[in-house]
Structure 1
Amino acid sequence: MTQNKILLVDDEPAFRELASRWLAKQDYHVKTAGSLDEARGALASFDADLVLLDLSMPPSFDPQVTLDAIGEFDGRPVIIITGHADRDLALKAIELGAWDFIAKPIDPDMLAVVVRRAITKTTLERELTQLKQTGNSAKGASAYIGHSISSQKVRALVERIAPTDVRVLVTGPSGTGKEVISRTLHDLSHRAAKPFISVHCGAIPADLLESELFGYVKGAFTGAEKDKVGLLSLADGGTLFLDEIGEMPLAMQVKLLRVLQEGTFFPVGGREQKHIDIRVVSATNADLLSKVQEGSFREDLYYRIKGVNIETQALAERLEDVPVLLQSFLQRLQNQQNKQLQLSPEAVQWFRDQTWPGNVRELKNALESVASICPQGQITMEDIQLLYPSGEAIRQTPISTPTNDASLDEQVRDLEIRLINQALEKNQGNRTQAAKQLGISRQGLIKKIERYGV
């Protein structure tokens, strides 16, 4: 993950040294400057995400000079450091555009919170700028939003393979953005001007799926009063997205395999062979290899659709993505409702604390529900508690408060082992079903089983 950059501007060398070391331990890339002129020079080659600025700087040590310089940092968040117990100066700094202020002697924990919030603000603004650039259709790899390592890897892979025609299989729990990834692959490809056709293989009855995909000719069966163009033909030149392909009947799998091998098909009841040029992107929350072993999914089809596998993670495994997801959903709600919407810090923290077994889809629905009953522009804990009276987390399994003196890592380990054992017991050892219950991938569950020796 790319390190966030901080420019620390203070005239005291000892403070610069200690503060920069401490910030570096928090995984920030820190550059220091001893004056405003040095700070201006540093920014020419150091693209800081945040500026920590002492209020009293040489040569004049006049706080007003520093206040006047706040606007010079090109929109970067500025946190004022002051040794003065002057509230008026601090408030004036904020009026002039500073993000926040913190007084010396500095409490490291307080500084960590203020810095993290300011960095998050910068990152959110960048994400929103990218979203605006891609338009309402959310084109571009930024449509798959998140700062976590897994989200960054997904975006990087999407950007790399989108311009190609390689077939893609997107796997992961329900509600984790598999269709978003598929649409992004289409939008970034040379086929973007052609159709993106989505087919939910489990939502169409088996006896209708063939005619929906291939189309049919007049008289092919009772009720076929005229020719019908199938979804394959509609997708010609573009992308065909086969959602939940693991639910496709075996008989249909054979016919799809022929299409992928030869690029041709016959409409139901027809004798004229049709030729198509499509890119196929498939998605599933099932373990297709297990289905192959069970005999419910064809092995040859599996390897035909799995050119590149993109795996999404459950939201519970990347909770650091929650704030930016909330900001993106809020932006869409604002556009739809034509009103300003914000989340209070306590509300953001509440959303951040949940496990979200329904993943991104559940997060989005929860936010929309709370926003619908919010009378003001800011969503607060009072609004949340109207729908969730206890204010407690949405959890798949109740979690008791630890009463021993174990470290946090040990408590997390013990909790995960207990939840994994419960899920395996409930599902009679079926790892696929246990993983689904826990909201993680089967591969993720297997890794945890091996790590903990369950």
Structure 2
Amino acid sequence: MTQNKILLVDDEPAFRELASRWLAGQDYQVRTAGSLEEARQAMVGFDADLVLLDLSMPPHFDPQITLESMVDFEGRPVIIITGHADRDLALKAVSLGAWDFIAKPIDPEMLAVVVRRAITKTTLERELNQLKKAGQSASGAAAYIGHSASSQKVRALIERIAPTDVRVLVTGPSGTGKEVISRTLHELSHRSKAPFVSVHCGAIPDELLESELFGYVKGAFTGAEKDKEGLLSLANGGTLFLDEIGEMPLTMQVKMLRVLQEGTFYPVGGREQKHIDVRVISATNADLVEKVREGSFREDLYYRIKGVNIETQSLAERHEDVPVLLQAFLANLREKQDKTLQLSAEAMQWFRQQAWPGNVRELKNALESVASICPAGHITMDDIHLLYPSTGAYAAPAIGTTPDSDATLDEQVRALEIRLIQKALATTQENRTQAAKQLGLSRQGLIKKIERYGL
């Protein structure tokens, strides 16, 4: 996993040493500078994701000059550090473009939160810019978005295999972005100028699938009044995406095997062999190994389509991706609707706490539904309540919070703890100190439980 980079600019050597060690312990790559000039030099060859900048820096020790120097960091988020919790300076720093403002002595927990949010912003903007440069939509329709370890692993694999013609099998639950991955592979390949043709193997009746894929000649069957090109021919030179290939009938599997082995096929009713040059990407939410075992999927076809296997995870397994996905979807909605569209903190919390059994697809549809009834462009819990009237102020059902009569004692205790923590945080407006006191925990004890449960 690629480390995010932070430039720490502060004139106090002891603080630089302690802060850089702590940040490195949080898995960030850190470079330090003791003056503004050193900071400018440090930027050369160091593509920082974030700048931590002390407000009073040599040689001038003038906050105004320091704030003006933010332009040197080329649009990267800047968090201002000061030994003086001055509200006016904080407001001025933010008005001049600072991402946030944090006072010494620094609370490590607060710093961790502010840094994580700023880097999330940077990464999302970079992803959206890459999409725009590639001529794709900002919706993430052709990009697999996310900050989780599994998402980054998928993206790294996409980048490595996209330029090749290796066949790819994308597996995982429905709604996790299998077609998104397939389109991204196509867009990043040398075939990107040619067609991307998608075939849902389970949506076309068995008796029609062959003629849809291979086409037919005039007189091949009743109603075939003229020759018709099949989807294979339309995809020639490009990418053929076989979605839900696990639902392809066995008779058709035999014929697809010939296409993959020899690059040839016959249209229905035709005698003239056609040659095809396509990259085949397949996807399924089924266990193909089990289907091979039970005889409903050919073993030789399985090994033909499985050049490289990309496995997606459910949104529940990569729940930290929810905020960045929401921001990407919001950016697309803003572009489509040409209006400001934002989520309130409570609305964001609600989206983050849902189980989303339908995964990314369900998350996107839910956001679009709520946005469609939001008159002011600022989505609040009032808008959510209109579509989800039984929802409480903080999400129900949240992940793992609904006790099950069949659940183990540990699972039921976990669910109860999550509900009580959520309730305490809600009633204290997210004040962790007060919430901890209400729950009879130490503040650090509460924080550990919040991290453990991914709240």
- Scaled by the length of structure 1, the TM-score of the pair is 0.83
Residue aligned with 1:27, SS: coil
Question: Which residue matches 2:364?
Answer: 364
Q: What pairs up with 1:381-420 in 2 under 5 angstroms?
A: 381-389=381-389, 390-391=391-392, 392-394=395-397, 398-400=401-403
Partner of 1:330: 330
Work out whether residues 217 and 267 of structure 2, in 8 Å CA contact, stay in contact via their aligned partners in 1: yes
What SS does the aligned partner of 1:81 have? Answer: strand
CA contact (8 A) 2:53 2:80 kept: yes
d(CA) in 1 for partners of 2:45, 2:266: 62
SS in 1 for 2:154: helix
Moved runs in structure 1, 4+ residues, more than 6 A? Answer: 138-142
Percent identical pairs in the alignment equals 80
Does the residue aligned with 1:256 lie in a helix, a strand or coil? Answer: helix
Aligned to 2:27: 27
Alignment partner, residue 114 of structure 1: 114
> Which range moves more in the overlay, 378-387 or 317-326?
378-387
**CA separation in 2, counterparts of 1:168 and 1:139?**
24
Equivalent AA in structure 2 for residue 306 of structure 1 = K
Q: Verify the 8 A CA contact 2:339 2:377 in the aligned structure 1.
A: yes
Describe the SS at the equivalent of 1:367: helix
Tell me the residue number matched to 1:289.
289
Decide whether aligned partners of structure 1 residues 81 and 407 sit closer, same or farther in structure 2, where only a CA change above 3 A counts: farther
Aligned match of 2:196? 196
The match for 1:82 is: 82
Letter matched to residue 152 of structure 1: Q
Q: Which residue of 2 aligns with 1:436?
A: none
- Are the counterparts in 2 of residues 78 and 100 from structure 1 also a CA contact under 8 Å? yes
Shift of 1:395: 5.3
Q: Which residue of 2 aligns with 1:441?
A: none
How much has 1:397 moved relative to structure 2?
Answer: 6.3
> Which amino acid is 2:388 matched to?
Y
AA partner of residue 402 (structure 2): I
| 121-130 or 257-266: bigger deviation | 257-266
8 Å CA contact 1:142, 1:155 repeated in 2: no
1:188, CA displacement in angstroms?
2.2
Cα deviation per residue 1:370-402 (whole Å; 9 max; x = unaligned)? Answer: 11111122223332233233241455865349x
**1:175 Cα deviation from its structure 2 partner:** 0.8
Instruction: State whether residues 94 and 100 of structure 2, in contact with CA within 8 Å, keep that contact through their aligned partners in structure 1.
Output: yes
* Residue of structure 1 equivalent to 2:263: 263
Quote the residue 2:40 is aligned against: 40
Within 5 Å, which residues of 2 pair with 1:2-17?
2-17=2-17
Whole-angstrom CA distance in 1 between matches of 2:2 and 2:252:
45
Q: CA deviation at 1:203?
A: 0.3
Cα shift at 1:130: 0.9
CA distance in 2, matches of 1:193, 1:3: 33
Q: CA RMSD in A?
A: 2.7
Q: CA deviation at 1:36?
A: 2.2
Bigger drift between 387-396 and 220-229 goes to 387-396
Distance 2:191 2:47 in 1: 36
**Residue pair 2:140, 2:329 contacting (<8 A) in 1 also:** no
Residue 301 (structure 1) aligns with? 301
Unaligned ranges ≥5, structure 2: 419-455
SS at match of 2:88: helix
- What is the distance in 2 between the residues matched to 1:213 and 1:395? 43
| Most deviating of 135-144 and 50-59 | 135-144
Structure 1 residues not aligned, in runs of 5+: 416-454
- Determine the C-alpha separation between the residues in 2 that align with 1:59 and 1:239: 59
Number of equivalent positions: 409
- Residue in 1 that maps onto 2:165: 165
| Counterpart residue number, 2:216 | 216
Residue number in structure 1 paired with 2:233: 233
Change (3 A) 1:22 1:215: same
2:46 counterpart SS class: coil
- Determine if contact 2:144/2:181 at 8 Å carries over to the other structure: yes
Deviations 1:61-103 (A, max 9, x none): 3322222323322112111222224211221111111111112
Q: State how far apart, in whole Å, the 2-side matches of 1:138 and 1:308 are.
A: 27
Matched residue, 1:274: 274
The alpha carbon displacement at 1:244 in A equals 0.4
How far is 1:24 from its partner?
2.2
Per the TM alignment, residue 138 of structure 1 is displaced from its structure 2 partner at its CA by 6.9
Moved more, 365-374 or 217-226: 217-226
CA distance in 2, matches of 1:129, 1:240: 27
Tell me the residue number matched to 1:421.
Answer: none
For residues 72 and 354 of structure 1, the distance between their equivalents in structure 2, rounded to whole angstroms, comes to 41
Q: Following TM superposition, by how much is the alpha carbon of 1:314 offset from its aligned partner in structure 2, in angstroms?
A: 1.2
* 3-state SS, counterpart of residue 269 of structure 1: coil
Retained in 1: the 8 A contact 2:220–2:270? Answer: yes
